[in-house]
Amino acid sequence: MNKPIRRIAFLAMLMFALLLANGTYLTVVRQDSLDANPYNRRVRDEEFAQDRGPILVGSTAIASTKPSDDRFRYQRVYSDGPLYAPITGFFSYDHGSSNLESSYNSELAGTDGALFVRRLIDTVTNKAPQGATVQTTIDAAAQEAAAKALGNQKGAVAALDPTTGAVLAMVTSPSYDPNKIASHDVTAADKAYDTYINASGSPMSNRAAREIYPPGSTFKLVTAAAALADGRTPDTMIDSPSRLRLPGTTTYLPNENNCGGTRITLTRALDVSCNTAFANLGLSLGQDKLRAQAKAFGFDARHLDDVGGAASQFPDDLNPSQLALSSIGQFDVAASPLQMAMVSAAIANDGKLMDPYLVSTVRGPDLSVIDRHTPTELSQPMTEQNARALQQMMVSVVQQGTGGNGAISGVEVGGKTGTAQSDPNRKPFAWYTSFARSGDKSVAVAVVVEDADIPRQDIAGGRVAAPIARATMQAVLG
């Protein structure tokens, strides 16, 4: 009789031990992943009952919470929602969160480990817990100027501080209103989300950091940098025929405008954005040197994980005709506006590329600093001497070439236009990337306008995108 009882007792003890082990495993190992699971309604209910911390631009909250009289205690509110949606993202009951609302969720919700003592004090004093404050690097004037200049055109603007990597503006059009997705009317929020996600203009796409496009002639800056690194100078003469037969094909690459002769200097080639000159330059450099230069500028790596930044691409295993096209930013070369702003920023910063960042500090409810970003050098894609040479070449593009619409009176501005064709059946992308500096202030900008209603020629980027870059730079420089 005792033997069966002992067996049952042993089995019960084993089951209790397994239960305790599973509880310990869930608490210690899986708690974070379970808390982050979007289907965990208990966590979501708890988060919506908390005073979530604000996201700031300067001293202004672009995302904040206010008391709510419904089943949730607090409502998330976005001032200028569409303007800052690519940065804040949304905080939704059914659809989770995105962008900074997602990447800084634990800090904003007040559940981050760095806030443990604060939570303990709140519990003891019976005070409602508060989330941390996330301070962005965005310049409100630049953000507003870029959005106004871009208007209703489909496209994006990215602006950086070349000396630190701080993101000064990130605008995308069309955009969406995160307030509608954050609504406590879950049915209305779901309908708004479905409308946005299925809209033909893709308003929820962050075109500045998460979308990549053929950069067209703006990529000639990378080719020029590789040429300078290989021993060329701004005065090096380059073959620039009126058209160039692509190696191994019967296809000819034309120039969209008069290059000024069949042999021109590298500076002149950049001024007039001469396709055949840069294709010949790329062929003489070879794909390895061109690819290495692109990677040094940040291609083939992701940047701004806070908002899900996508990696720009330079293709592998190119044949000669593909290399010629890649040298002018066509074939399978693809870049985000952020990436092309990084190229201009590195050139403007005497060849030093700083890692772009969007959040400068995170502060607790008592304003104590939880985390502070330190500007970090990402790479040195150019020597100081070559960078300064390319700076002057870009200034020449603005003063004497296709980039004149980016000029600012009394300010040193360097730029590069571009027009890129991704599909013969669609309108081209108009590009402009530039830098400007005045006194102790500097800025680098890249603009892309999709489906530009213009002729396909390199100067088109100057017509459409350059004024947008100019407005953004003026706002930063003041």
Residue 217 appears among annotated catalytic residues = yes
Amino acid letter for position 465: A
Q: Which of 64, 97, 217, 326 is catalytic?
A: 217
- Per residue, what are the HEC states of the chain? CHHHHHHHHHHHHHHHHHHHHHHHHHHHCCHHHHHHCCCCHHHHHHHHCCECCCEEECCEEEEEEEECCCCCCEEEECCCHHHHHHHHCCEECCCEECHHHHHCHHHHHCCCHHHHHHHHHHHHCCCCCECCEEEECCCHHHHHHHHHHHCCCCEEEEEECCCCCEEEEEEEECCCCHHHHCCCCHHHHHHHHHHHHCCCCCCCCCCCCCCCECCHHHHHHHHHHHHHHCCCCCCCEEECCCEEECCCCCCEEECCCCCCCCEEEHHHHHHCCCHHHHHHHHHHHCHHHHHHHHHHCCCCCCCCHHHCCCCCECCCCCCHHHHHHHCCCCCCCEECHHHHHHHHHHHHCCCCEECCECEEEEECCCCCEEEECCCCEEECCCCHHHHHHHHHHHHHHHHHCCCHHHCCCCCEEEEEEEEECCCCCCCCEEEEEEEEEECCEEEEEEEEECCCCCCCCCHHHHHHCHHHHHHHHHHHHC
Amino acid letter for position 172: T
CB distance 219 to 419 below 8 Å: no
Q: Name residues whose C-beta falls within 8 Å of residue 328's C-beta, 6 or more positions apart in sequence.
A: 216, 217, 219, 220, 223, 253, 275, 278, 279, 282
Structure tokens at 324: 């010629």
- CA-CA distance, 462 to 444, in Å (whole number)? 16
Which residues are the active-site residues? Answer: 217
